[in-house]
C-alpha cells in the first residue's frame, strides 16, 4: 500500500470520527426523518379526580384545557396529550412537530429562538444539553475542527461540511420537534404577545405532558425545597436533574412516540 494511499485513508478515518462526533452530539435528528409511533402502556385516568399514586402537588402541575391564543389556531389542546389515548397524543405532538419541519427563522427571530430554545432539553429521552445546537456547542465544535485543520488532519474545504449553526436541531425525537415547532410558531406569529419567558413556559407545559412521571416527581422535590412550581422551573434546564435524588425511575410515564 503506497504512502499516498495511507495518507488518504488516515484523513478519511479522521473525517469519519469528526462526523460521528457531530452526529452523536448535535444531529441525531437526521436519524428520525419520520416520527416513529410507539405504543405506550396506558393507564386510564379520571380527569375529574387525582390519579392514583399522585400527590395533590403532582396533579396540580398538569396543564389542562386549550392554550390561549394559539390553541384554537392550531387546533391543539393540552388534554389531548395523555397516556389514555396514545393515538391522539401522537397526532397532537405531530401537529406541533410539523411546525419545526416547515418553519425557518432568520435575523432577530432566529436570535430570539436560539436564546429561548437553548434553555430547554429533552433529557428524559436523550442526554443532549438542549433541543437545539447552542452557541457554545458551535464554538466547541469549531475549535475542534480548527485544531484538526491546523494539524493537517483534514482540509479546510472538507471541514465545512461538519460545521454547525446555532438553532439547528440537536435531537430528533417527536417531543423535541414539537417543542421547537411551538417556539418557532409563537415567535413568528405572536412574537409581540408572548415574552421570552412566556414562550419558555408554554414549551414547559407541553414537556410536562410528554413526561408526566418525571415532571411530577420533580415537582415534589421543588416543593420540598420551597422552589416555585412554574413551568420554567419544572421543565427548563434551570433545575435539570434535581429529581434524580428520588429513588424511583423518572421516565417510565413518557407520553407519545419518541
Q: Specify whether 161 is located in the same domain as 174.
A: no
Q: Which of 144, 166, 188 is the last residue of a domain?
A: 166
In a domain, 9, yes or no: yes
Q: ∠ CA(30), CA(109), CA(77), 5° rounding?
A: 70
The DSSP bridge partners found for residue 169 are 132
Q: Specify whether 11 is located in the same domain as 117.
A: no
Number of domains in the chain: 2
In a domain, 254, yes or no: no
Residues 217-244: tens digit of each pLDDT: 999 999 999 999 999 999 999 999 998 8
Q: Specify whether 80 is located in the same domain as 145.
A: no
In a domain, 99, yes or no: yes
In a domain, 257, yes or no: no
In a domain, 228, yes or no: yes
Q: Specify whether 25 is located in the same domain as 41.
A: no
Q: Specify whether 74 is located in the same domain as 102.
A: yes
- Domain with 217, as residue range(s), is 33-132+167-245
In a domain, 188, yes or no: yes
Q: How many CB atoms lie within 10 A of CB 201?
A: 19
SS3 154: coil
In a domain, 142, yes or no: yes
DSSP code, position 103: -
Residues 120-149: tens digit of each pLDDT: 999 998 778 999 999 999 999 999 999 999
Q: Specify whether 5 is located in the same domain as 45.
A: no
Per-residue pLDDT at 113 exceeds 50? yes
Phi, psi (deg, nearest 5) at residue 86: -65, -30
Alpha-carbon distance of 11 to 16, in angstroms, equals: 8
Q: Specify whether 187 is located in the same domain as 211.
A: yes
In a domain, 69, yes or no: yes
Model pTM? Answer: 0.75
Phi, psi (deg, nearest 5) at residue 238: -60, -45
Residues 179-206: tens digit of each pLDDT: 999 999 999 999 999 999 999 999 999 9
Amino acid at each position: 500500500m503506497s504512502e499516498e494511499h495511507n495518507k488518504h485513508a488516515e484523513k478519511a478515518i479522521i473525517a469519519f470520527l469528526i462526523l460521528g462526533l457531530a452526529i452523536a452530539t448535535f444531529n441525531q435528528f437526521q436519524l428520525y426523518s419520520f416520527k416513529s409511533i410507539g405504543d405506550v402502556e396506558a393507564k386510564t385516568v379520571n380527569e375529574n379526580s387525582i390519579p392514583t399514586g399522585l400527590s395533590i402537588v403532582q396533579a396540580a402541575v398538569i396543564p389542562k384545557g386549550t392554550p390561549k391564543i394559539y390553541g384554537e389556531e392550531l387546533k391543539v389542546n393540552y388534554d389531548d396529550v395523555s397516556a389514555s389515548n396514545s393515538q391522539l397524543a401522537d397526532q397532537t405532538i405531530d401537529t406541533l412537530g410539523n411546525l419545526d419541519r416547515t418553519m425557518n427563522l432568520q435575523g432577530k427571530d432566529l436570535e430570539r429562538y436560539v436564546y429561548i430554545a437553548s434553555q430547554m432539553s429533552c433529557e428524559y429521552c436523550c442526554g443532549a444539553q438542549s433541543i437545539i445546537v447552542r452557541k457554545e456547542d458551535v464554538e466547541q465544535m469549531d475549535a475542534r475542527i480548527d485544531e484538526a485543520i491546523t494539524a493537517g488532519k483534514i482540509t479546510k474545504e472538507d471541514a465545512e461540511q461538519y460545521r454547525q449553526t446555532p438553532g439547528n436541531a440537536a435531537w430528533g425525537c417527536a417531543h423535541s420537534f414539537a417543542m421547537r415547532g411551538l417556539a418557532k410558531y409563537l415567535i413568528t406569529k405572536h412574537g409581540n404577545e408572548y415574552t421570552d419567558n412566556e414562550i419558555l413556559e408554554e414549551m414547559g407545559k407541553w414537556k410536562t405532558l410528554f413526561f408526566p412521571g418525571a415532571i411530577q416527581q420533580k415537582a415534589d422535590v421543588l416543593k420540598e425545597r420551597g422552589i416555585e412550581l412554574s413551568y420554567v422551573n419544572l421543565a427548563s434546564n434551570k433545575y435539570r436533574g434535581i429529581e434524580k435524588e428520588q429513588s424511583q425511575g423518572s421516565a417510565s410515564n413518557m407520553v407519545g412516540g419518541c
